[in-house]
Amino acid sequence: MLGLLGEQGSEFAHKVDFANDVVTIISVICTVAIVGAMLYFAVIYRQRDGKDHETPMIEGNNTLEVIWTVFPTLVCIWVAWLGYDAFVDLRSPPADAMEINVTGRKWAWDFQYKNGKKTTSELVVPVDQPVKLIMTSKDVLHSFFVPVMRTKMDVIPGRYTYEWFKPIKTGDFQVFCTEYCGNEHSKMLARLKVLPKAEFERWLADDSEERKLAALKPSDLGKELYAGKQCISCHSLDGTPRVGPSWLKAFGKEGELADGTKYKMDENYIRESILNPQAKTVKGYPAMGMPSYQGQLSDDEITGIVEFIKTLDGSQKVEVEAVAPKKSAAAAGATPVERGKALVHDTGNLCITCHSLDGSKLVGPSFKGLWGRKEKLSDGSEVVVDAAYIKESIWKPAAKIVEGYGPVMPAMYEGKLTDENLNDIIEYLKTLQ
Name which of residues 364 to 403 contact other proteins (CB under 8 A). Answer: none
Q: Does 25 bind other proteins (CB under 8 A)?
A: no
- Alpha carbon distance 60, 73 (integer Å): 20
Q: Does 38 bind other proteins (CB under 8 A)?
A: yes
- Alpha carbon distance 421, 393 (integer Å): 14
Alpha-carbon separation of residue 268 from 242, 272, 278, 303 (angstroms): 23, 6, 15, 10
- Alpha carbon distance 3, 313 (integer Å): 59
Q: Does 431 bind other proteins (CB under 8 A)?
A: no
Alpha-carbon separation of residue 354 from 286, 388, 390 (angstroms): 8, 21, 15
Q: Could you tell me which residues are beta bridge partners of residue 200?
A: none
Binding test (CB under 8 A) with other proteins, winner from 83, 171, 286, 410: 83
Binding test (CB under 8 A) with other proteins, winner from 8, 10, 19, 427: 19
Q: Does 320 bind other proteins (CB under 8 A)?
A: no
Do residues 181 and 142 touch, judged by C-beta distance below 8 A? Answer: yes
- Among the listed ranges 18-26, 116-124, 199-207, 403-411, the one in contact with other proteins (CB under 8 A) is 18-26
Q: Does 55 bind other proteins (CB under 8 A)?
A: yes
Q: Does 84 bind other proteins (CB under 8 A)?
A: yes
Q: Does 68 bind other proteins (CB under 8 A)?
A: yes
- Alpha carbon distance 417, 98 (integer Å): 33
Q: Does 23 bind other proteins (CB under 8 A)?
A: yes
Angle (CA) 72 76 81, round 5°: 155
Q: Does 30 bind other proteins (CB under 8 A)?
A: yes
Q: Please say which residue, 16 or 225, places its beta carbon nearer to other proteins.
A: 16
- Among the listed ranges 78-86, 362-370, 393-401, 410-418, the one in contact with other proteins (CB under 8 A) is 78-86
Residues 178-237 that bind other proteins (CB under 8 A): 178-187, 189
Q: Does 174 bind other proteins (CB under 8 A)?
A: yes
Residues 130-169 that bind other proteins (CB under 8 A): 139-141, 143, 145, 147, 150-154, 156-159, 161
Whole-number minimum distance, CB 139 to other proteins, in Å? 7
Whole-number minimum distance, CB 276 to other proteins, in Å? 8
Element (H, E) at 190: strand 190-195
Tally the C-alpha atoms within 13 A of residue 198's C-alpha that lie toward its C-beta.
0
Whole-number minimum distance, CB 35 to other proteins, in Å? 5
Closest CA to 129 of 189, 201, 177: 201
What would the x/- binding string for other proteins be over residues 323 to 352, using CB under 8 A? ---------xx-------xx--x-------
Q: How many residues bind other proteins (CB under 8 A)?
A: 89
Angle (CA) 371 373 378, round 5°: 115
Do residues 373 and 402 touch, judged by C-beta distance below 8 A? Answer: no
3-state SS, 214-253, equals HHCCHHHHHHHHHHHCCHHHCCCCCCCCCCCCCCCCCCCC
Instruction: Count Cβ neighbours within 10 Å for each residue of 297-319 and write b for 16 or more, e otherwise.
Output: beeebbbbbbbbbbbbeeeeebe
- Among the listed ranges 20-28, 209-217, 306-314, 420-428, the one in contact with other proteins (CB under 8 A) is 20-28
Do residues 433 and 346 touch, judged by C-beta distance below 8 A? Answer: no
Q: Please say which residue, 65 or 210, places its beta carbon nearer to other proteins.
A: 65
Whole-number minimum distance, CB 68 to other proteins, in Å? 5
Q: Please say which residue, 46 or 374, places its beta carbon nearer to other proteins.
A: 46
Q: Please say which residue, 44 or 198, places its beta carbon nearer to other proteins.
A: 44
Whole-number minimum distance, CB 403 to other proteins, in Å? 29
